[in-house]
Amino acid sequence: MTDVGDLPALEAELSRVVRGDVGFGVTSRALVTMDASNYRRVPLGVVAPRDADDVSAVLEVCRERGVPVVARGGGTSIAGQATGTGVVLDFTRHMNRLVSLDPDARTAVVQPGLVLDRLQEAAAPHGLRFGPDPSTHSRCTLGGMIGNNSCGSHSVAWGTTADSVRELDVITARGRRLRLGQDWAGAPDGLRELVDGELARLRTGFPELPRRISGYALDALLPERGADVARSFCGSEGTLGVLTEAVVGLVEAPRARALAVLAYADESAAAQAAAGLLPFGPLTVEGMSADLVPSAAALPRGAAWLFVETGGESAAQARARAEAIVRAADVVDALVVTDPAGQRALWRIREDASGTATRMPDGSEAWPGWEDCAVPPARLGAYLRDFRGLLTEHGLRGTPYGHFGDGCIHVRIDFDLLTKAGVARFRRFSEELAELVVAHGGSLSGEHGDGQARAELLPRMYGQEMVGLFERAKGVWDPDDLLNPGMLVRPAPLDADLRFSVLPREPVEVAFGYPSDGGDFSAAVRRCVGVAKCRTTSVSGSSVMCPSFRATGEEEHSTRGRARLLHEMLAGEVVTDGWRSTEVRDALDLCLSCKGCRSDCPVGVDMATYKAEFLHHHYAGRRRPAAHYAMGRLPEWLRAVSRTRTARLVNALAGVRPFAWAAKRLGGIAPEREIPRVARRTFSRWWERRRGEATVGSGALVILWPDTFTEHLSPSVGQAAVRVLEAAGLRVGLPPTLRLVRPPVGDGRTVAMDPLSVLRGRGRVCCGLTYVSTGQLDRARAVMRRTLDLMEPVLETDAPVVVLEPSCAAALRTDVPELLHDDPRAARLAAKVLTFAETLERHAPDWTPPRVDRPVAGQTHCHQHAVLGDAADRRLRRAALLSGELSGGCCGLAGNFGFEKGHYEVSTACAEEHLLPSVRDAPDGAVVLADGFSCRTQLEQLAGVRGSHLAEVLAAALEGAGDEAGGGGTEPEGGR
């Protein structure tokens, strides 16, 4: 085994013989210390091979040096088998192609790093699909699926991955290239002799059930089963050989589908009923209970549900089959959904369960480890009752869900894996559950493989003799035990290498409150369990996460990758510089702080907050990047321009190339960017001049928040909002301001205010967004506390606070209370914050908006999607006859991000993903909606298109300027 001192030589040798990427640096290693399991193993290095020759070269070097090799796909394995202490082969970077697809033969040739959804997309135009489809289909790879013999929700119809494998190209640890198939094709020397000597044991030693994944599938080598070497290789978890290419079978996809949602009184009733539905030939029989379902989910009344999908040549046929199942089922309630969008929304609940199950209803943590046991489907109800009893006996909680039609149960359990006593209970429970599964005729693994989580317990399922046979088979394929040692045979203990053991035991001192994690930053980082939804390469609907990963394709730019680096920073073994780590800083640098992960991540990882926290500590007492001073303190600069009334001069200088170049260079601004023009008259000055007019509206009082962007850069948005709100009968006011010319003195509250900020800003309110996004959290707190002081009179009223800029509204709702978690006024202010559409809906419910009657194009603001929600906006648009939907994703500008030097390429790539195409493809006469200043700026600078806030569109329609609604009906950007 190579020791740490030999690492430079190993890296140099691999770099010499491999055409792909060789990474032995801190970031490369930290990113793959974990998969989606409870386990953590630190590798020596990572290689991303370009082809089979690279794989051979790596194996040869590692064999000579005694270095283990682990093959890794999407890293979503739940049992620890995608981690290793030697060299990790990452197939997702280069060996990720669909080599060919033959519709007539219904086969495809794939490389191991190909993501399943890419194969499905290529097969769909031919009416075909790959049968197995795990919930991680948008990021799991075919190689990983073959290694784990993955299944998915459609296995009752199309079986496991092994059922779809035809031939496999494999390289053994000793460098032999084999083409595995039936009739002993590709079998390594000695395998046939081993099987021939153990026929009786192989015929009687394996339980018969649809989801038996545990152990090696040696029974596939029986003569009556075609001596299928390729099938027997499936589920071997990278311990027998390294897959380099596969021929897989495809199945005919039904032309139409219907989804029957069957409601039951409890999960046991649902489980008991599942097997009885199989004779109807469903495509899926999936089970879930109420603990995993969002309260707003449109499901029939009940406490547990079966999702039963049917197919047909037509929608009518699929529906008829679904309705026949409903009639035959003894249910509390039922629903049949034929609308594809409705089906997708329901399936999204099921697919996100692997993440949502990691948090119990009370917010406490739950973990994998016993994620996918399987029993004969007819015994599932009885097994679940016994399983629940065992949980109660050990004082544990978990919410089962999964493939009820195949008798396979997923569950996350609230194990205490942080203390010695908790780990001991984890072991005792695991041993007893293994006995329970075997007593019901089941398999320890029904989908995800044994890995380190269950391999130690295989003797309880198979007996010592069969496990000994597994060891002999491993010896035939890999006599040097080079490939993924410690998995399946001669396993590592199930309670060793737990990823939590390296984290600090005492809470880390942090600025944010992390209310959902008990104030513990380590617990916040632990939220990422590795299911890697953030690695999805395309977004659907209004989804956002994770734009930087989709732009670069690099793991370190995914939410999971950044969470892994933060985990290793806290551990201090791989990342040794703590908050000063340049590796963590560089990975977070391309985080757009879009907050998409806060809503789209199944476990609510909030990387925008973690980034702000890290930057706060990283730059404490140190000089910051120029952009932090230029754009992080933007409110101060803009207030200075307003106070000195130099907007005209600033705009003129920004239009002179030498001055603009110098300003951008000094401010850390990307040279490709244009500097936005400052309004010559702020929104507040417009308001003050207008106050002499008669008060309009006799309805409820609403306080319109003059955010920095509306105040100084887009006053037309504020003016439009005032006109619409007053047209709806509401009385509009602005927050109080404090006008002082010298530092205040007097009572304690006044002394506590920041005199300099009062002098600079004349007491204007500010949410602190720009300070938070650049990690200037001390300054952010001062700004927020000053704001709370100013807002106290408003907090004593019933008046809502209307915020037009989505980023500022999100900051007030989340950042302010989480950063000022010790000030109850912060939560009171957050509770008052409403969006423009929410205000009209709640406080002017009888008002009818003007008829715009035009299509819309554009993108839902990322913070609106992640924090605020856009349901009220959708309803307001419909009421105004604005037709069509806005796209998802992120505009790419994201506040200061797109303006910072070095970010332009990623910023434009994000815009080109959804925003710019949606505008280019918009129908004639479409209104380009963009409620955020960043989105409007990105549209203007990259597409030459002016986007409008919804308030501007409605104001223009009110004034009878419907033909000009797309350009706003008030002052142009920059004001007068």
HSE-CB at 607 with a 13 A cutoff on CA atoms is 33
Does residue 746 contact residue 755 with C-beta atoms inside 8 Å?
A: no
Structure tokens at 221: 């080598």
Question: What is the rounded CA–CA span in Å between residue 863 and residue 847?
Answer: 27
Question: What is the rounded CA–CA span in Å between residue 766 and residue 743?
Answer: 19
Going by C-alpha positions, the residue among 369, 497, 505, 372 that lies closest to residue 428 is: 369
Burial class (CB within 10 angstroms; exposed 0-12, middle 13-18, buried 19+) of 827:
middle
Going by C-alpha positions, the residue among 374, 561, 560 that lies closest to residue 449 is: 374
Using alpha carbons, list the distances in angstroms from residue 257 to 340, 342, 970: 8, 12, 49
Question: What is the rounded CA–CA span in Å between residue 212 and residue 339?
Answer: 34
Beta-carbon contacts of 937 under 8 Å, excluding residues fewer than 6 positions away, are: 676, 893
User: Which 3 state secondary structure label does DSSP give 110?
Assistant: strand
Q: What is the pLDDT of residue 760?
A: 35
Q: What is the pLDDT of residue 353?
A: 67
Structure tokens at 951: 């308030």
What type of residue sits at position 259?
Answer: L
HSE-CB at 503 with a 13 A cutoff on CA atoms is 23
For residue range 333-350, list pLDDT tens digits in order: 999 999 998 898 888 887
Q: Between vectors from CA 811 to CA 807 and to CA 814, what angle results, nearest 5°?
A: 130
Q: What is the pLDDT of residue 754?
A: 36
Q: What is the pLDDT of residue 2?
A: 52
Does residue 416 contact residue 422 with C-beta atoms inside 8 Å?
A: yes
Q: Hey, how many other C-beta atoms are within 10 angstroms of the C-beta on 389?
A: 11
Concatenated DSSP letters of 278-346: GGG--SEEEEEEGGGS-TT----SSSEEEEEEEEESSHHHHHHHHHHHHHHS--SEEEEE--HHHHHHH
Average pLDDT over residues 278-294: 89
For residue range 931-968, list pLDDT tens digits in order: 999 999 999 999 999 999 999 999 999 988 444 444 43
Q: Is 742 a residue whose pLDDT tops 80?
A: no
Q: Between vectors from CA 206 to CA 200 and to CA 210, what angle results, nearest 5°?
A: 140
Q: What is the pLDDT of residue 244?
A: 98
Structure tokens at 381: 């109800």
For residue range 447-497, list pLDDT tens digits in order: 999 999 999 999 999 999 999 999 999 999 999 999 999 999 999 999 999
Beta-carbon contacts of 339 under 8 Å, excluding residues fewer than 6 positions away, are: none
Element containing residue 733 per DSSP (H, E) = strand 731-733
Concatenated DSSP letters of 225-268: GT--HHHHHTT-TTSS-EEEEEEEE-EEPPSEEEEEEEEESSHH
Q: What is the pLDDT of residue 839?
A: 98
Question: What is the rounded CA–CA span in Å between residue 527 and residue 355?
Answer: 9
Q: What is the pLDDT of residue 4?
A: 54
Q: Is 402 a residue whose pLDDT tops 60?
A: yes
Does residue 34 contact residue 499 with C-beta atoms inside 8 Å?
A: yes
Average pLDDT over residues 741-755: 38
Q: What is the pLDDT of residue 763?
A: 58
Using alpha carbons, list the distances in angstroms from residue 584 to 613, 732, 897, 950: 12, 45, 17, 38
Does residue 866 contact residue 598 with C-beta atoms inside 8 Å?
A: yes
Q: What is the pLDDT of residue 360?
A: 75
Q: What is the biggest distance separating any 2 CA atoms in the chain, rounded to whole angstroms?
A: 100
Structure tokens at 274: 């599942």
Q: Is 751 a residue whose pLDDT tops 70?
A: no
Average pLDDT over residues 46-59: 98
Q: What is the pLDDT of residue 690?
A: 84
- Scanning the structure block, which residue is given the tokens 């059922």? 163
For residue range 496-554, list pLDDT tens digits in order: 999 999 999 899 999 999 999 999 999 999 999 999 999 998 877 778 999 999 999 99
- Scanning the structure block, which residue is given the tokens 């962007």? 709
Q: Which of 6-10, 223-227, 362-366, 431-435 has the least mean pLDDT? A: 362-366
Question: What is the rounded CA–CA span in Å between residue 607 and residue 527?
Answer: 11
Element containing residue 787 per DSSP (H, E) = helix 777-795
Does residue 816 contact residue 931 with C-beta atoms inside 8 Å?
A: no
Which residue pairs, CB below 8 angstroms and at least 24 apart, start in 159-163? 159/131, 159/132, 159/210, 160/132, 160/210, 160/211, 160/213, 160/234, 161/132, 161/234, 162/217, 162/220, 162/231, 162/234, 162/235, 163/131, 163/132
Q: What is the pLDDT of residue 539?
A: 75
Beta-carbon contacts of 450 under 8 Å, excluding residues fewer than 6 positions away, are: 79, 81, 213, 214, 215, 237, 444, 458, 487, 488, 491
- Under the banding of pLDDT at 50, 70 and 90, the label for residue 219 is very high
Does residue 194 contact residue 186 with C-beta atoms inside 8 Å?
A: no
Q: Is 759 a residue whose pLDDT tops 90?
A: no
Q: What is the pLDDT of residue 5?
A: 59
Burial class (CB within 10 angstroms; exposed 0-12, middle 13-18, buried 19+) of 660:
middle
Three-state secondary structure readout of 904-936: HHHHHHHHHHCHHHHHHCCCCCCEEECCCHHHH
Q: Is 745 a residue whose pLDDT tops 50?
A: no
- Under the banding of pLDDT at 50, 70 and 90, the label for residue 755 is very low
For residue range 602-652, list pLDDT tens digits in order: 899 999 999 999 999 999 999 999 999 999 999 999 999 999 999 999 999
- Under the banding of pLDDT at 50, 70 and 90, the label for residue 974 is very low
User: Which 3 state secondary structure label does DSSP give 901?
Assistant: coil
Q: Hey, how many other C-beta atoms are within 10 angstroms of the C-beta on 360?
A: 16
User: Which 3 state secondary structure label does DSSP give 460?
Assistant: helix
Question: What is the rounded CA–CA span in Å between residue 21 and residue 649?
Answer: 51
Task: Name the CA dihedral angle for 432, 472, 86, 373, rounded to a multiple of 10 degrees.
Answer: -30
Q: What is the pLDDT of residue 854?
A: 96
Q: What is the pLDDT of residue 970?
A: 40
Does residue 837 contact residue 737 with C-beta atoms inside 8 Å?
A: no
* End-to-end CA gap in the chain: 73
Q: What is the pLDDT of residue 295?
A: 64
Q: Which of 40-44, 168-172, 361-365, 693-697 has the least mean pLDDT? A: 693-697
Using alpha carbons, list the distances in angstroms from residue 962 to 239, 729, 881, 945: 67, 21, 12, 18
Does residue 790 contact residue 744 with C-beta atoms inside 8 Å?
A: no
For residue range 839-893, list pLDDT tens digits in order: 999 999 999 999 999 999 999 999 999 999 999 999 999 999 999 999 999 999 9
Question: What is the rounded CA–CA span in Å between residue 64 and residue 788?
Answer: 66
Q: Which of 599-603, 620-624, 729-733, 832-836 has the least mean pLDDT? A: 599-603
Quickly count helices (H) and strands (E) in the chain: 45, 25
Q: Is 291 a residue whose pLDDT tops 90?
A: no
Q: Is 156 a residue whose pLDDT tops 80?
A: yes
Using alpha carbons, list the distances in angstroms from residue 435 to 407, 443, 730: 17, 10, 67
Beta-carbon contacts of 763 under 8 Å, excluding residues fewer than 6 positions away, are: 736, 737, 738, 739, 740, 786, 790
The per-residue pLDDT of the chain, averaged, comes to: 92
Share of the chain above pLDDT 70, in %: 94
Going by C-alpha positions, the residue among 614, 601, 599 that lies closest to residue 567 is: 614
Comparing 25 with 400, the larger pLDDT belongs to 25
Q: Is 762 a residue whose pLDDT tops 50?
A: no
Q: Is 803 a residue whose pLDDT tops 60?
A: yes
